[in-house]
Chains A and B, each alone.
Chain A
Amino acid sequence: MFDKLLIANRGEIAVRIIRACHEMGISTVAVYSEADRKSLHVQMADESVCIGPAPASESYLHIDRIIQAAQNKKAQAIHPGYGFLAENPAFSSRCEKEGIVFVGPNSKAMDLVGDKVRARQTMEKAGVPIIPGMKCVYKKTKEYEKQAQDIGYPVMIKASAGGGGKGMRIVSAPDQLKTALEAGMREAKSAFGDESVYLEKCIQKPRHVEFQILADNYGNIVHLFERECSIQRRHQKIIEESPSQALDDELRNQMGEVAKKVIQATGYNNAGTVEFLLDKDRNFYFLEVNARLQVEHPVTELITGLDIVQHQIAIAAGEKLNMEQDSLSQNGHAIECRIYAEDPENNFLPSSGRILFLNEPSGPGIRIDSGIFQDCEVPIYYDPILSKLIVWAENREMACERMIQALDNTVILGVKTCLAFLKEVISSPDFKRGDTTTDFIDQHFSDWSSMKKDPFTRELSLMAAAFLSQNQRYNDRSDEKDKREGSFSPWKTLGRWRLGRSG
């Protein structure tokens, strides 16, 4: 086993990995950008190294600096988390070259599954069902127009190097294709450095069902059952659960076996996820392999009782899988909500700022994977995920109720969040029925407004504000801030006295 491991990431996932390492007796090295000096992952790691300025390209995406930090600190392995360099074959092969173990798949398999077009070709050969669509990438718009006609509208534009919804666009008519292609290519270029896109048939009202896989370096493969991640906004998952309401044991076994076949056909090792779309007639199609630890991995951990991150590290250290498919089972129901710093009143655009007050829920069956603490700054430079709230209960109905209570008990002040939105989605009758497809949010929540709040909570809030005005002019925090910024205003201390009204 490793003595020391470097975590090439930040936020909640870096914290999650550090926890696993410490439990395994592995010493940890955090890397951080100048914007993250005081971050939680830096506080928790045994050692930490600043790797550059705030922009990710200068820090968390800077391969040379991360490798150098690992070498200086004599870390034997690097865990990339998700995002940043996690699925970058150049980074994993560089690790291989430098003799540092990369906690993830071998670079050849990563390269293959990362190229969505080549992965589709491989799957077709292996007899895995794929979504009808392009089998290669073209240069000219004309060729895309012809392909789109052949596939039949609506079509989906996807980035060849893709993932995470970046570069993805649905095109419902020929006259929208050109603009959508341009936008998709630009987004693909900026997100992955590769502008290639391809077209697929748009499956109507599918569910997103994915299988968690563990594969060791000796060809042993198990699946840890499914997660359903149909609740998405702008092609990004916001709520995930397991088991899926759409699967019975027969379909589950069938999909699980196909998922293992996908892993085998690509020569993949370590933890990975095989994503499928499941249509309303229960046909399933291979979507892609996510060659990394996923954001939603805790859902699987709660229903299987396994620690996926510890297994990842053990596999990377050359250990054999210590489990058989038949010994694994799903227990109860788990749901995850991603808590993002984003402004529901402003089209859910990322928000940033300082967390002025934080209360995280606790109780039976509640898990928080958090990257924040009270008084921390949420920088604008990175993915706006603050934390993940995951609940476990005996069954789905109880898990939904537990999640609603847990969301109510999550308090984050100072930065805008999607908490109220998540609560409404979980509370909605359609979600409770398990009637979840990837168009769920567009269908049921397209006109959702955070302004529609309970008039009574508004009255209570006003009472609290009045009470506070009466009892104190300022809290200590803003007092300090005022002094620091020298923006002392005599009008504030004069209270509710004002100059003559105009008119």
Chain B
Amino acid sequence: MGLDFVGQGAGQTDGNIITTTIDKVVNWGRKNSLWPMPFGTACCAIEMMATLASKFDLSRFGSEAIRFSPRQSDLLIVSGRISIKMMPVLKRIYDQMPDPKWVISMGACASCGGVFDTYTLIQGVDQFIPVDVYIPGCPPRPEDLIDAVLQVQQKITSGASPKGVEVIYE
């Protein structure tokens, strides 16, 4: 968790003092309450719904507070095909999310266009928005999405900036 207990045997404190850094505490809070913004455009969204529902229960990892307003969320889950007409909408939603924000590109279509190698389909949303974690699969199983959320959590714990921030300050 990144919190260090000190004070054992230090007299009157008796193990009740915790030393840490602000960053660590803030990141600990962030990682355990990621609020996802679902951008479900295809069958991956069905798996995402399953992940959020009782059987797979994403709330075990603190990410059950789905927000349909980008202004209230910090994790964008792109699950499905994105066409050239939809991409500006997705970009707008990404831009509306407050920093720091993370992006999961769920499934083959969002990550690389999948089997839809056609004139209208974006061949990977990472061409236009920064993606932190990719999930392979067509569609990926809910366990894969949970794994991706845990990877985002790991990323936050490690103190690494989201991909979006790196892009801004590069």
Indicate, yes or no, whether A interacts with B. Answer: no
B binding-site residues for A, Cβ under 8 Å: none
A binding-site residues for B, Cβ under 8 Å: none
